[in-house]
């Protein structure tokens, strides 16, 4: 046994939305390990740099994070928990800057695209796409130029001591990201009621219909289906399924046994506690954001 605090790897720089999700899920008593890319993130545990990783898997506006889906299967890690977090964008500058002084704003392309109304209302501000929201805040703070701003989450302002010039720039308040906590531990967490699997189906007519039917007729709710192409097999796909189910439920055991009749491969990614689609805190923050506009 060890008293070492858990090391949590996330993609991006300090202050990223993934870092905020890790702290919300596990508390402040963790060691945060920033990783530059998704590939680096998913190799963090195998390289001995982290005990867990937290990864975004889908956003309500931008859709699925495809690279995360692909690496989720390749890495062999298990999903332990999930969390849904609101994504609120803030305009930041160096201390002493103001909205009037800003002529250039940096951020990740998705963050910039989610703030179209702000740029339409401030046409003199030029947008610059960068690799990371929080990294953009770090960069403008290092530059020390009052004409440069960045769009990121509030935690980035705290980490880099930037000045928040405007809050809740996002065009839509139903902007949420679902994050997964992954580890090598294959034990089933207490309260696990959500199952994620990947299936590679036989390439025959009706196979997908038959495969999904094993859950439907057992009254197991299919929450999401995501298809991803199989490298080296043009126009063939693996299907990622999220099901409201527990692996200890006899219905689930029967469904997993039957689906193998239609699938060439079945991989269990994890059985874990399902996060509410929109937590109470998420709803209240969304309403607060709307009131502040």
List, by residue number, the catalytic residues.
Answer: 177, 179
90-169 carries CATH number 1.10.760.10: no
- Residues whose CB is less than 8 angstroms from the CB of residue 233 and which lie 6 or more positions away in sequence, other chains included: none
| Same-fold call for 90-169 versus 194-272 | no
pTM of the prediction?
A: 0.90
Kindly report the average pLDDT of the chain as a whole number. Answer: 92
Contact 45, 183 (CB under 8 A): yes
Which residues are CB-neighbours of 258 under 8 A, at least 6 positions away? 214
Specify which residues 52 forms β-bridges with. 8
Q: How far apart are the C-alpha atoms of 89 and 155, rounded to whole Å?
A: 11
* CATH number for the segment(s) 7-85+175-183: 3.40.190.10
Between CA 143 and CA 246 the distance in angstroms is: 51
So what's the pLDDT on residue 1? Answer: 41
Segments making up each domain of the chain, as ranges: 7-85+175-183, 90-169, 194-272
Give residue-wise pLDDT tens across range 116-146. 999 999 999 999 999 999 999 999 999 999 9
* pLDDT by 10s per residue, the chain, length 293: 457 899 999 999 999 999 999 999 999 999 999 999 999 999 999 999 999 999 999 999 889 999 999 999 999 999 999 999 999 999 999 999 999 999 999 999 999 999 999 999 999 999 999 999 999 999 999 999 999 999 999 999 999 999 999 999 999 988 999 999 999 999 999 999 999 999 998 888 888 999 999 999 999 999 999 999 999 888 889 999 999 999 999 999 999 999 999 899 999 999 999 997 665 555 555 555 454 44
Q: Which residues pair with 9 in a beta bridge?
A: 33, 53
* Measured CA distances, 209 to 23, 215, 244 (Å): 40, 11, 18
Segments of the chain assigned E as strands = 7-11, 31-35, 52-59, 63-64, 78-86, 90-93, 104-107, 126-129, 148-152, 163-166, 176-183, 194-201, 221-230, 233-244, 263-272
DSSP-derived secondary structure for 125-172? PEEEE-S-HHHHHHHHHHHT-TTEEEEE-HHHHHHHTPEEEE----S-
Is CATH 3.30.750.200 what the domain over 194-272 is classified as, yes or no?
Answer: no
For every residue of 235-258, DSSP letters joined together read EEEEEEEEEE--TTSHHHHHHHHH
């Amino acid at each position: 046994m060890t008293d070492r605090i858990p090391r949590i790897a996330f993609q991006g720089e300090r202050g990223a939305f993934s870092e905020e999700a890790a702290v919300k899920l596990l508390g402040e008593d963790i060691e945060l390990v920033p990783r530059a890319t998704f590939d680096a993130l998913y190799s963090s545990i195998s390289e001995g740099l982290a005990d867990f990783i937290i990864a975004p898997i889908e956003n309500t506006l931008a859709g699925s994070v495809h690279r995360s889906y692909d690496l989720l299967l390749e890495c062999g890690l298990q999903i332990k928990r999930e969390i849904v977090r609101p994504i609120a964008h803030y305009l930041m500058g160096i201390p002493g800057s103001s909205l009037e002084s800003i002529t250039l704003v940096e951020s990740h392309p998705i963050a910039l695209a989610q703030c179209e109304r702000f740029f339409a209302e401030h046409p003199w501000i030029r947008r610059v796409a960068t690799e990371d929201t929080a990294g953009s805040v770090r960069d403008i703070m290092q530059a020390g130029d009052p004409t440069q701003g960045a769009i990121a989450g509030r935690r980035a302002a705290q980490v880099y001591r930037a000045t928040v010039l405007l809050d809740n720039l996002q065009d839509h308040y139903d902007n949420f990201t679902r994050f997964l906590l992954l580890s090598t531990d294959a034990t089933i967490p207490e309260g696990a009621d959500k199952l994620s699997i990947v299936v590679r189906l036989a390439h025959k007519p009706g196979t997908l219909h038959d495969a999904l039917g094993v859950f439907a007729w057992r009254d197991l709710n299919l929450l999401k289906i995501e298809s991803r192409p199989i490298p080296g097999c043009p126009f063939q796909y693996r299907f990622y399924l999220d099901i409201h189910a527990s692996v200890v439920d006899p219905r689930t055991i029967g469904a997993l046994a039957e689906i193998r009749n239609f699938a060439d491969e079945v991989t269990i990614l994890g059985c874990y506690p399902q996060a509410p689609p929109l937590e109470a805190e998420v709803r209240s923050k969304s309403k607060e954001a709307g009131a502040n506009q």
